[in-house]
A and B are shown apart, each in its own frame.
Chain A
Amino acid sequence: MFQIRIHGRGGQGVVTATEMLSIAAFEEGRHAQAFPSFGSERTGAPVVAFCRIDDKEIRLREPIMQPDALIIQDPTLLHQIDVFAGFQPEGYVLLNTSHTFAELGLADFVARHKNAHLACLPATEIGLRHIGRPIPNVPLLGGFAALSGLIKLESVVLAINEKFSGKVAEGNIAAATEAYEQIRALMKGETHA
């Protein structure tokens, strides 16, 4: 079983992102379970949502306390909550920022973890460019597909088409694709953004 935790803020589409991730996994014939950390969702407040992916039925109903992957939609959360709680040593981190891990004071964290599994992505900027709104969730899913290889970009596109239609879907597909390609390029260069 692979467990993903997404941290963000109310209004950034955190819950939607885990739902789409579960749809993408479902489209690949896998079992997936997405659920939010339950509570009142308020714009700007920290929000957590979870997604499990497995090849067999998922029965477990506890929150994800030891994530194999973290998607962090807002870097300011690093100062507010322990987003890395329970993070697995070989796990994946995708962080929405136009800065580097080092610039955000995470050089030590990077040194302790598997380099090729960690990446920064300017997802808000990509969202603004293609969707016209500072919504980082879908670009991060595209980037996560590239970083982890867990799901295909085509599956993310299928999930986008299930959640959105028309111009919004088109913009999100373009954003996810650009993010996917950015992370692919980054991984080939084997350096951190």
Chain B
Amino acid sequence: MLKQTEGSHAVAEAVALCRPEVICAYPISPQTHIVEALGEMVKSGALPQCEFINVESEFAAMSVAIGSSAAGARTYTATASQGLLFMVEAVYNASGLGLPIVMTVANRAIGAPINIWNDHSDSLSQRDSGWMQLFAETNQEALDLHIQAFRLAEELSLPVMVCMDGFILTHAFERVDMPEQAQVDAYLPAFEPRQMLDPAEPVSIGAMVGPEAFMEVKYLEHAKQLQALDLIPQYAAEFKQIFGRDSGGLVRPYALEDAETVIIAMGSVLGTIKDVVDEMRAAGHKIGVLGIISYRPFPLQAVREALANCKRFLVLEKSLAVGMGGILATDIRMAVTGSGLKGFTAIAGLGGRPIPKSSLHPLFCRAEQEDLPPITFVDLDQAAVDKQLEREKQNRRSGPIAENILHDKGLVSAKFG
């Protein structure tokens, strides 16, 4: 059914349609509306089979999720930013133990400096945690990916993060097609755990594993994620059969056929990028887009194939590996190793800085001309950076950087509204 609703609410409804049995979460912006809505549904009796557990922290949220998943309950949680960092030890345990938890990450920057706005630093910090990570482009895709995520997680017995841009998607009201319960039931079978703490058939979960077997257990995590490279497109195809729309998959090509320049990105910024690309196409530019939906497992082959006919690419990402550069870009370059393709990286939108068409248009034109440095920081205020660097050169006690930059820009503190 078509409805106009908030992204968070759409995700909460989709999670409810997946018949979760345990939801444990600690509220943090911009994920709060999702778990609030689910909490209301449980309290109202709309989810009679589900227990909502209020926990005292994100670490507890993931710990409870581990326990309930190990007990054989379909388990959901959500977090963002510092909340994700706070639960990290348990995040690795969930994947290491092979527990098929589904978690929404409402992507948000990581402090310091403290910042509540969107970028991809939080889930990308968990790149190597063993969780799969699927990135939504729209609210429709965010809700659809949750339905696919439970199926994927439970088939492989591995946890999945569904990543959606904090605020930009979570707080946006837009049109979504909300599935019917019968459709979700037809797509998502009941949870049949591969391992379970069952008094009738007792096992222990979480054995200490020494050098004799650790590598094999770890390798199996990797092998399962590689299996997901086949399952993700298969589940997206089956999703289309039942729900009638394209959602999910490994990558999403757009206007790629004769594209000489390809822009690569993840998440909601793909919408803005497509608008710019349409305008450039209308003006005769041979430019296209490759959206990455599955960040982990990373679809090396699908990316290589999608870029096979282009001449150059630009990775635009909302994340920064400090001291190195792009994070997504590193994986893309791995995918095209040996191809001789010219690649550029653009870091944009850190800490919620808007990524407007007016900034992308000249950037893409320069990429097309191969007139870019290896890394571009989109809309960086270089003068403010230089001023601070000069201050540090002139004065040993140059003071706290964040406060200095705010002062230089005439701001008392972060600008709200």
* CB of B67 within 8 Å of the partner chain: no
The residue in chain A whose Cβ has the minimal distance to the Cβ of B276 is: A60
- With A22-B174, A60-B272 in contact, do A32 and B417 touch (Cβ < 8 Å)? no
Complex Cα–Cα for A45 and B417 (A):
8
Closest to B359 in A: A62
Please name 11 further chain A to chain B contacts, defined as beta carbons within 8 Å, in addition to the given A35-B171, A59-B275, sorted by A numbering.
A19-B6, A22-B4, A34-B173, A36-B167, A37-B416, A41-B416, A45-B416, A61-B268, A61-B271, A62-B272, A63-B354
**Do the beta carbons of A38 and B167 come within 8 Å of each other?**
yes
Q: Contact string, A26-44, partner B, CB cutoff 8 A, digits 1/0? A: 1100011111111111100
**Distance in angstroms between the alpha carbons of A168 and B355 in the assembled complex:** 39
B271 contacts A59, C-beta separation under 8 Å: yes
A59 contacts which of B30, B118, B167, B272 (Cβ < 8 Å)?
B272
Whether A11 is near chain B, meaning CB under 8 Å from some CB there, is: no
CA distance A146 to B282 in the complex (A): 36
Q: Are B174 and A33 in contact (CB under 8 A)?
A: yes
**B117: Cβ under 8 A from any A Cβ:** yes
What residues of chain A lie closer than 8 Å to B275, measured between beta carbons? 59-60
What's the Cα separation between A33 and B268 when bound, in Å? 13
Cα distance A61–B168 in the bound complex, in angstroms: 7
Residues of chain B lying within 8 A (CB to CB) of residue A106:
none
The answer to whether A22 touches B173, judged by C-beta atoms less than 8 angstroms apart, is yes
CA distance A191 to B69 in the complex (A): 67
Contact check, A38 vs B171: say whether CB atoms are below 8 A apart. yes
Asked whether B343 is an interface residue with its Cβ less than 8 Å from the other chain, the reply is no
Known: A59-B271, A61-B355. A46 touches B417 (CB 8 A): yes
Q: A58-B174, A59-B271 in contact; A26/B4 too (CB < 8 A)?
A: yes
Q: Which of B175, B275, B415, B417 has the most CB of A within 10 A?
A: B417
With both beta carbons as reference points, the residue of chain B lying nearest to A50 in the complex is identified as: B172
B4 in contact with A48 (CB, 8 Å):
no
Q: Would A60 and B357 be within 8 Å (CB), given that A39-B417, A42-B416 are in contact? A: yes
- B253 to chain A minimum Cβ distance, whole angstroms, is 16
Are A31 and B171 within 8 A (Cβ)? Answer: no
Interface code A1-31, partner B: CB below 8 Å = 1, 0 otherwise?
0000000000000000011001100110001
Where the two chains meet, the residues of B that have a C-beta atom closer than 8 Å to any C-beta of A are 2-4, 6, 30, 116-118, 138, 165, 167-168, 171-175, 268-272, 274-275, 352, 354-357, 414-417
Given A60-B275, A62-B356, A62-B357, A40 contacting B416 (CB threshold 8 A):
yes
Q: List the A side residues contacting B417 at CB < 8 Å.
A: 37, 39, 41, 45-48
A104 within 8 A of B: no
| Across-interface contacts of A45 in B (CB, < 8 A) | 416-417
CB nearest to A65 among chain B residues:
B356
Which residue of the partner chain, among B117, B167, B355, B357, contacts A35 with CB atoms under 8 Å? B167
Chain B residues, Cβ within 8 Å of A63: 354, 356
- Shortest A150–chain B CB gap in Å is 16
The closest CB in chain A to the CB of B6 belongs to A19
Known: A22-B4, A23-B4, A40-B116. A61 touches B269 (CB 8 A): yes
Within the complex, the shortest CB–CB distance from B198 to chain A, in Å, comes to: 45
Question: Which residues of the other chain, A, contact B117 by a CB distance below 8 angstroms?
Answer: 38-39
Write the chain A residue with the least CB distance to B166: A38
Q: Identify 8 residue pairs between A and B in the complex whose beta-carbon atoms are under 8 Å apart, listed by A's number.
A: A33-B174, A34-B173, A35-B173, A38-B116, A39-B415, A59-B271, A59-B272, A62-B355
